[in-house]
Structure 1
Amino acid sequence: MSTDDAVPLPPTVAAHVPTGLLIGGRWRPSTSARTFEVRDPATTDVLFDVADATPQDALAALEAASDASDEWRDVAPRDRSELLRAVFETMTARAGDLAALITAEGGKPLAEARAEVAYGADYVRWYAEQAVRADGLARRAPAGGGHQLVLTRPVGPALLVTPWNFPLAMVARKLAPALAAGCSVVVKPAQLAPLTTAYLAEIVRAELAERGLPTGVVNVIPSSDARAVTEPLLADPRLRKLSFTGSTQVGVTLLRGAAQHVLRTSMELGGNAPFLVFDDADLDAAVAGAVQAKMRNAGQTCVAANRFLVQRGVAEEFTRRLVAAFDGLVVGHGAARGTSVGPLIESAAVDRVEHAVSAAHDAGARIRLGGERPRRRGHFYAPTVLDRVAPDDPLVTEEVFGPVAPVLTFDDEADAVRQANATPYGLVAYAFTRDVDRVLRLAEHLEAGMVGINRGIVSDASAPFGGVKHSGLGREGGEAGLEEYVERVYVAL
């Protein structure tokens, strides 16, 4: 199903979206005076022209963050906590505006955008609570004759590079722990969706100013050339931390740059999540979980289920039910009533998905549903289910980042684990089974940083989010997220 309704961004929201660079507490144009367009992916209409940061702007932002760093690190943890709590309350009060903006620039259905606002705000609330709980250590040395004291202190100015697919949640789960720890930041939002980040940054800037705190703590530099603005920052010794969410390929490049000054790094990179369905699973629950794990943001999430591995005895029944569930989804503008699947982010994304599905079909895969672009304006691709897919097909071995579900079969648990682990990625894995002993074995043997059992969503602000292998380094969320922005100092007394 589809809807062709096009819904503009409400004027009351559009009037309050900053479109400049935030440097040293002030919104201003780029030094080049250049801008780039941000478009609605559901209509291709231009939403805003946004200031296009230059390398000089990036260094000015780092200078502002560096200048504010000492003052911010000396701010009492309770004051940092209360700042973040105020930001959380403002985000909650403006949830409707934030959700409308997420939908406009990213395309996701409004219900999902509202869920993202709640999810992002939860990170801010969590780290408001954690800001006053940085633990240390004081004890007598085991050998006697002295004492050991271990303190935490902020690592220093941080560069936060965020993706377009969760323009609020991804910056919130980096920015909140950084501020809680006492780090100043430079944020480089994605070119395709910088508006929500700017809106959130203005909330933070206003709260800092109201409290008489250094507004240069948070700086934002949208740019059409990510490399041009990140390379000089990585080469500058004033930068002490890099946090990046995006592709493994870009992450590897950034890690090389971070090595120049041995920066602390957090990397949340690509995924290729297996979704395992065993023959004892509740198939209704498995299908509902599959829709959650695959179709959130039209499959454009790092934790999206990419491969559906189903035990042979229930494979046909699961596939039939999955087809029926996907067939009931409504494709359309994210702000239109009843929409459950929005657009992909740009035309190149649709081209990639279309090519991958076509190539799999040419190689022998069977298209059970979809496999085509809807005839409508915008960057859409129909929800698609395939079976008889070869295990070495790129549709299986590479991250699809679209509304496509390839179904493969396995014989037994050992075969399921082998297929699930047959990838250089390891962000998340999902499994549906009623066997408790099997759950424990899967938790031990699946090569993933996160495992969802009988559920299609794993993310939680209070839990560590991150992967293994080529899916990244470090963790975001939970107590571990704060650790990424502090260093421990041992004092021998």
Structure 2
Amino acid sequence: MPHKLNYINGQWTGSELAYMEVVNPFNGETIATVPKAGRREAEMAIDAAHQAFSSWSRLSAQERAGYLQRVANIMLENKEELARIMTLEMGKPLRESRGEVQYAASFLEWYAEEAKRIYGRTVPGRDASQRILVLKQPVGVVAAITPWNFPAAMVTRKLGPALAAGCTIIVKPAEQTPLTAIRLMEYCEQAGIPHGVVNLVTGDPAEIGDAFMSNPLVRKITFTGSTAVGKHLIRKSADQVKKVSMELGGHAPMIVFEDADVEKAVQGAISSKFRNAGQTCICMNRIYVHEKVYDRFVQAFAEAVSQLKVGDGLDEHTHVGPIIDRDGYEKIDRHVQDALEKGAKAVIGGRGHIVNERACFYQPTVLTNVNSDMLIMYEETFGPVAPIQTFQRDEEAIALANASPYGLAAYFYTESMKRGTKVMEALEYGIIGWNDALPSTAQAPFGGMKESGIGREGGSEGIEPYLETKYVSVGI
């Protein structure tokens, strides 16, 4: 069983520390151990990043871009290796892991180009003796806290713009999935990124997080995870007025209008809802179908769901892998049982399977006869369960979709340009999929409204949170 290490100031450290086990959620077996670092190690990483900042930020944009492109190339050359690591520690099907490697590398490629497009500007002065210059400069040391469900892409979506902007970074990956992030650090080392520019610490989230929030050398926090933790970090950030980017929880609605291509909508729902066993922040969580196409949709959707194979992510035929841990499993089952007790019907699924204390699965589930009083219709389930509710009027569907404190992603299916234009403008969500179930891409701004976050990742907007704006007034 390999023992992995932290990466601080270009050195692999932490062999003397207590360790944490990394578990394969398919069978509960320990596949590796990592250091249980704490405040001391986090402070070491912060100091290393601070020391490296002055030289890294002075490199030309082309030089920083070259490093990012080299890391992306190494990732793609080792796609199969990295995909297998992800599947082993997270459980997602290997085909999805391969896709994530490609997706993760695309952020490095995109921001390698955006590094060259950090533009300032000149502004007319108040009179002939004044010149005004506007500069864009890196914010400084960045602390990135990443989730377990996309252990490669959520690192590169932060690493790419941070390094492109001239910042240095410390990554704290999720306790469940540190191995992918560690391998990414190895790729950074192979690419020759200078010592201290990228750092990684695994361990106690409370201690490491407190070090990030209390150390004034950390000028920015970027976090992807639950809304509850995000709110805690926002409160802590106020003490030093740190910059924050937050990609938080979601509860994505999907609306199928009466003029929709039902077959396309069914395939979209399958690809979104059951990807990563439903453990994605933008997957369709609640489906609203017009009464005129409700029966057709439910029948076709249930038939498609019945064909999904549950099993080991390393099996090329698996569509739905294990649930990440027992807590995740119990939340899913609680939502399903609550719905069934309140009158919902399980057309497909409705139960799980516990292998042991560290390995469990949930059958792909379709629920009908649901209503807004059920937990599953207002809490994020994070599992392979699709509740379906009928509606009659467009305004009703939009109101149901917007009746949530979350505003990350929403989806709708219609063939009408007029209807679609009105709906996309009315939905209170940062990401909209119009006849598109997989809208995420490196060149588009990803993020949410309301309690789903602050800021955007991806696109030209994604580099702005890593930059300070400075203006210089020159008298001549």
Bucket of the pairwise TM-score, normalised by the shorter protein: over 0.9
* Equivalent in 275, 279, 303 of residue 254 of structure 2: 275
Give the deviation of 1:348 after TM superposition: 1.5
**Residue in structure 2 matched with residue 25 of structure 1 by the alignment:** 10
**Structure 2: distance between partners of 1:258 and 1:375:** 40
What amino acid is the match of 1:48? A
Written as runs of structure 1 = structure 2, the 5 A alignment for 1:139-158 is: 139-141=123-125, 144-158=128-142
* Equivalent in 5, 15, 18 of residue 34 of structure 1: 18
**Structure 2: distance between partners of 1:403 and 1:491:** 54
Given that 1:22 and 1:221 are in contact with CA atoms closer than 8 Å, whether structure 2 keeps it comes out as: yes
**Residue in structure 2 matched with residue 443 of structure 1 by the alignment:** 424
Structure 1 position 183 matched with structure 2 position 167: yes
What amino acid is the match of 1:183? C
Corresponding pairs, count: 472
**Structure 2: distance between partners of 1:320 and 1:401:** 24
Give the deviation of 1:30 after TM superposition: 5.9
Query: CA deviation digits over 1:88-127, x for unaligned, max 9?
Result: 1101100010100110101000000000000000001000
**Structure 2: distance between partners of 1:281 and 1:144:** 61
Once the two structures are overlaid, the 10-residue window that deviates more, 167-176 or 372-381, is: 372-381
Gaps of 5+ in 2: none
**Structure 2: distance between partners of 1:28 and 1:148:** 47
Given that 1:84 and 1:124 are in contact with CA atoms closer than 8 Å, whether structure 2 keeps it comes out as: yes
What amino acid is the match of 2:12? W
**Residue in structure 2 matched with residue 219 of structure 1 by the alignment:** 199
**Residue in structure 1 matched with residue 209 of structure 2 by the alignment:** 230
**Structure 2: distance between partners of 1:95 and 1:42:** 21
**Structure 2: distance between partners of 1:148 and 1:409:** 58
Please report the RMSD computed on the Cα atoms of aligned residues, expressed in angstroms.
1.3
Structure 1 position 318 matched with structure 2 position 318: no
**Residue in structure 1 matched with residue 336 of structure 2 by the alignment:** 357
Written as runs of structure 1 = structure 2, the 5 A alignment for 1:25-424 is: 25-29=10-14, 33-141=17-125, 144-208=128-192, 214-223=194-203, 225-374=204-353, 376=355, 378-424=359-405
Structure 1 position 481 matched with structure 2 position 465: no
What amino acid is the match of 1:355? R
TM-score, length-normalised on structure 2? 0.97
Once the two structures are overlaid, the 10-residue window that deviates more, 133-142 or 462-471, is: 133-142
**Structure 2: distance between partners of 1:83 and 1:149:** 29
Once the two structures are overlaid, the 10-residue window that deviates more, 394-403 or 226-235, is: 226-235
**Structure 1: distance between partners of 2:4 and 2:26:** 21
Aligned to 1:402, the other structure's residue is in SS state: coil
Given that 1:30 and 1:57 are in contact with CA atoms closer than 8 Å, whether structure 2 keeps it comes out as: no
**Residue in structure 1 matched with residue 412 of structure 2 by the alignment:** 431
**Structure 2: distance between partners of 1:477 and 1:430:** 19
**Structure 2: distance between partners of 1:391 and 1:348:** 24
**Structure 2: distance between partners of 1:236 and 1:100:** 36
Give the deviation of 1:270 after TM superposition: 0.2
Give the deviation of 1:142 after TM superposition: 5.8
Give the deviation of 1:147 after TM superposition: 2.0
Aligned to 1:261, the other structure's residue is in SS state: coil
Aligned to 1:191, the other structure's residue is in SS state: coil
Give the deviation of 1:314 after TM superposition: 1.1
TM-score, length-normalised on structure 1? 0.94
Give the deviation of 1:355 after TM superposition: 1.4
Given that 1:30 and 1:53 are in contact with CA atoms closer than 8 Å, whether structure 2 keeps it comes out as: no
- The structure carrying a bigger strand percent of its residues is 2
Given that 1:30 and 1:54 are in contact with CA atoms closer than 8 Å, whether structure 2 keeps it comes out as: no
**Structure 2: distance between partners of 1:375 and 1:172:** 33
**Structure 2: distance between partners of 1:130 and 1:207:** 19
What amino acid is the match of 2:463? L
Gaps of 5+ in 1: 1-13
Give the deviation of 1:144 after TM superposition: 4.8
Once the two structures are overlaid, the 10-residue window that deviates more, 372-381 or 235-244, is: 372-381
What amino acid is the match of 2:459? G
Aligned to 1:379, the other structure's residue is in SS state: strand
Query: CA deviation digits over 1:392-425, x for unaligned, max 9?
Result: 2111100000000000111111001100000000
**Structure 1: distance between partners of 2:237 and 2:333:** 35
